Amino acid sequence: MFGTVTVVDNEITEGHELGTSVLGRAQGLLHGSSSDGSSHTVALTAAFHGGEHDHEILDTVSFLGSSDSHPISHIAIVGGTGKYENAKGYATIETLPHEDQHTTDGLETITHSLLSYS
């Protein structure tokens, strides 16, 4: 919906199946930026855990862009910290087909992201 702001704080997992290892968290905002609901402005940081304690954040990647209603869209990688320091490039966001939804807990749509950065 146009003007709606959604706050995101979701787990990043190794795979889309239930029980897969948690690698970190995706935190940020999605903003309904078109009157017909077909696109959202995305401002998101992926924080990857590690170290001696699983809650310790070691590396981050930050994203900014517009995601549309197509099954696959792209957003910009605008920076990062740790091993992703000064990252730039793009991320592909893919919403998994409905038939894969049985592998979720039923609360969220699953997305699959592929990062290409330089």
CA of 11: how far to CAs of 48, 92, 94, 118, in Å? 10, 18, 16, 25
What mean pLDDT comes out for the span 56-74? 86
- Within 13 Å of residue 12, how many CA atoms lie on the same side as its CB? 20
Domain of residue 59 covers: 5-117
Q: Is the pTM of this model over 0.85?
A: no
Tell me how many domains the chain contains: 1
What mean pLDDT comes out for the span 62-81? 87
Indicate the pairing of strand 53-68 with strand 89-95: unpaired
**By C-alpha distance, which of 94, 83, 15 is closest to 47?**
83
What mean pLDDT comes out for the span 64-68? 86
pLDDT given at position 2: 78
* Spatial contact of 76 and 61, defined as CB atoms under 8 Å apart: no
117/85: higher pLDDT: 85
Question: Across all residues in the chain, what is the average pLDDT?
Answer: 78
**Residue 61: how many CB atoms within 10 A of its CB?**
25
Residue 43's identity, in one-letter code, is: A
Q: Is the pLDDT of residue 116 over 50?
A: yes
In this predicted model, what pLDDT tens digit does every residue of 11-50 receive, in sequence order? 888 877 778 888 889 999 988 888 887 788 889 999 998 7
**By C-alpha distance, which of 11, 103, 109, 25 is closest to 67?**
109
In this predicted model, what pLDDT tens digit does every residue of 99-114 receive, in sequence order? 544 554 444 455 555 5
